[in-house]
Structure 1
């Protein structure tokens, strides 16, 4: 059994660990509640929007299709099955993927304010996507934009890894510094590409994409990101003990037989895969990878064996309700989700930082 002494300290967690003790004795119950929360959120989010569909009707339509029934001409059937349900499922995938990527990055660089944006991954993906939108390239058809976004994130990680190496090792502080610098460079390139285009329609599409959204969700866009997120989550849970060791530092990792530099590189590649795949289908949605891991640590502590499943569930719930708000706040128009996550994320982040600061002072 893992005790408070055995587990690694949370990133930025107070020594008292008062948040972690809240649910340490009832972890299975917490996971069960979150699973129920995901189920309820899916049903509610599928029914909410400019045209509201009762939960009973939503359930009937979903059961009809999931049991092998075909499409019907009913308006509610078209709205639920063709438009909203794939969007809701994509929201679950995107939220879980961004939260997982944030957890990995925070563990790798041992920095509580780290997320995919900090290492330039999201900015690199934006360069690839905006390059396609401004040039009108369509070599791969509908797959051109997602492929370009993923290639941009992968290219950004190659640059960051190459520049952050010191004597054959990857150092967390160099990763952060290089990532921040490259992120600003990629953001400048994106702004330059946006300023160069004189296509007003493309400009509007780029701005909306940069702020993130799920309005383009369809069944064809689900399989690849879903497979990547599920596989990545499984791999991370299997490597949770090693990630725990990595948080302790390079010397402690070496003492326990873990090559911190190699493990850090592998985890960053996985974070790049997650970020590139998710950003390719949702655009740049910020703060999910920053806030959700903090919330998970507050609930279950810093042990990644317990934290990762909770992070996946919380990320999905957070994204679903952010998307619902984006759909209904200025209906029939739609807000970019990135605006909402910023409004929600900044106050929550400041609250968490303030609470942790007070707890740390009291523990000294």
Structure 2
């Protein structure tokens, strides 16, 4: 006669652990407050140091005094030339780079969640190609002042075309969205190539190529305001929806069972990502690999939960792009590289390392 086995003595958690045997334990993650504090400190230090780097030597103390003087917190006691270099030239560019890097990292993390595709990036829905088409159109027409508006409008039109095509004949699914995005991206890229081939002349080729590869050379306080406002507004909304984004990791059926309106949430989040990405591309051009690599690299430390992943990814993206842009503008001084070249040179090896590690089988 079989008798039930008597459970081992001890508290219930210990018994559960004993029954689990030698199974893998969830890795212990650093507290979110610690990660955010370290990331914010690294970002502040990066901003201060990056502003000092360039042909003209500027001390960190001068940067701080210049900023405080313009904020009305202390008298202006910085040489006029150095103050102009800090406030009018370098600081807007560095702040724009930080906002763009953070925005692309957040957009990439959201896209990877919504599509359940580890290779997704902010440009997956054809946004980059649409923005490029709008930007190239105004560049060849000689109205570069309208470039941010045209790029943003092109990104939104690409989003509308992608989502409309994906909805044709059925509901919006990750696979249909990806395929529709690829189709729209190819169409917009072909149209851009045609415009460049047919109309670009003289120095406009260099200007167009620089923008297509990503450049922050023309960043102003307006650029920083556009990117920063988009990041603050959209980033806040996305962070508040972190729980719903986590639900998408288990598939649409599981997300619906958890009370998530799958179709509405996906449309809303994709629209927000498009708005965020469109704003970033409008001021910086198409900068690759930031939105693709950063979410994967950061998740090694934070784990997959979006409440932890999104703020840390934003800080890491900001730091990365500020240093990448600093390299782009100084390594070959007085010539300047498009920052997209630098992010690719950094992103490809990092991505290769992540692929080699396998990321727990989620990439198989």
- What is the TM-score normalised by the length of structure 2? 0.88
What per-residue deviation string (whole Å, max 9, x for no partner) do you get for residues 225-246 of structure 1? 2111101111011110011112
Contact 2:66–2:76 at 8 Å: present in 1 too? no
1:310-355 C-alpha deviation (Å, 9 max, x unpaired):
0111111011100110111101111100000111111111110111
What residue number does 2:361 align with? 360
Say how many residue pairs are matched.
Answer: 340
Contact 2:328–2:337 (Cα < 8 Å) also in 1? yes
> Who is 2:36 aligned against?
31
Match for residue 56 of structure 2?
A: 51
CA–CA distance in 1 between the matches of 2:98 and 2:200? 36
Q: Over residues 3-46 of structure 1, what are the superposed CA-to-partner deviations in whole Å (9 max), with x where a residue is unaligned?
A: xxxxxxxxxxxx9687xx35x14332121111100010010111
Root-mean-square deviation over aligned CA pairs: 2.1
Q: Which runs of structure 1 show a deviation greater than 4 angstroms over 4 or more consecutive aligned residues?
A: 15-18, 68-73
1:171-213 deviation digits (Å, cap 9, x = unpaired) = 1011111212221221111111111124212111110111111
Higher relative contact order (CA 8 A, sep 6+): 1
Instruction: Output the CA distance in 1 between the equivalents of 2:334 and 2:124.
Output: 34
Look up the SS of the partner of 2:218 in the other structure.
Answer: coil
User: Which of residues 104, 109, 116 in structure 2 aligns to 1:110?
Assistant: 116
User: Which of 148, 151, 154 is the aligned partner of 2:150?
Assistant: 148
Q: Which has the larger radius of gyration?
A: 2
Structure 2 partner of 1:180: 182
Which of residues 336, 339, 346 is equivalent to 2:338?
A: 336
**Partner Cα distance (1:218, 1:25) in 2:** 37
- TM-score w.r.t. the length of structure 1 is 0.88
Choose 36-45 or 52-61, whichever is displaced more.
52-61
Pair 1:204–1:313, CA change in 2 (3 A): same
Q: CA deviation at 1:167?
A: 5.1
Distance 1:354 1:161, change over 3 A: same
- Partner Cα distance (1:354, 1:286) in 2: 21
Q: 1:210 aligns to what?
A: 212
Note the alpha carbon deviations across 1:46-88, whole angstroms, 9 max, x for none: 1012223122222222222233556976221111111001111
**Residue among 107, 132, 135 paired with 2:138:** 132
Pick from 49, 60, 65 the counterpart of residue 60 of structure 1: 65
Equivalent residue for 2:164, pick from 162, 165, 189: 162
Cα distance change, pair 136–71 in 1 and its aligned pair in 2 (3 A): farther
Partner of residue 293 from structure 2, selected from 291, 294, 302: 291
**Structure 2 residue aligned with 1:190:** 192
Counterpart of 1:320 (choices 322, 325, 336) is 322
Provide the secondary structure at the position in 1 that maps to 2:203. helix
Q: Distance in 2 between matches of 1:56 and 1:191?
A: 47
Farther-moved stretch of structure 1 (65-74 vs 306-315): 65-74
On the 8 A contact 1:71/1:77 being kept in 2, the answer is: no
1:119 corresponds to 2:112: no
Partners of 1:65 and 1:71 within 8 A in 2: no
Structure 2 gap ranges (5+):
1-22
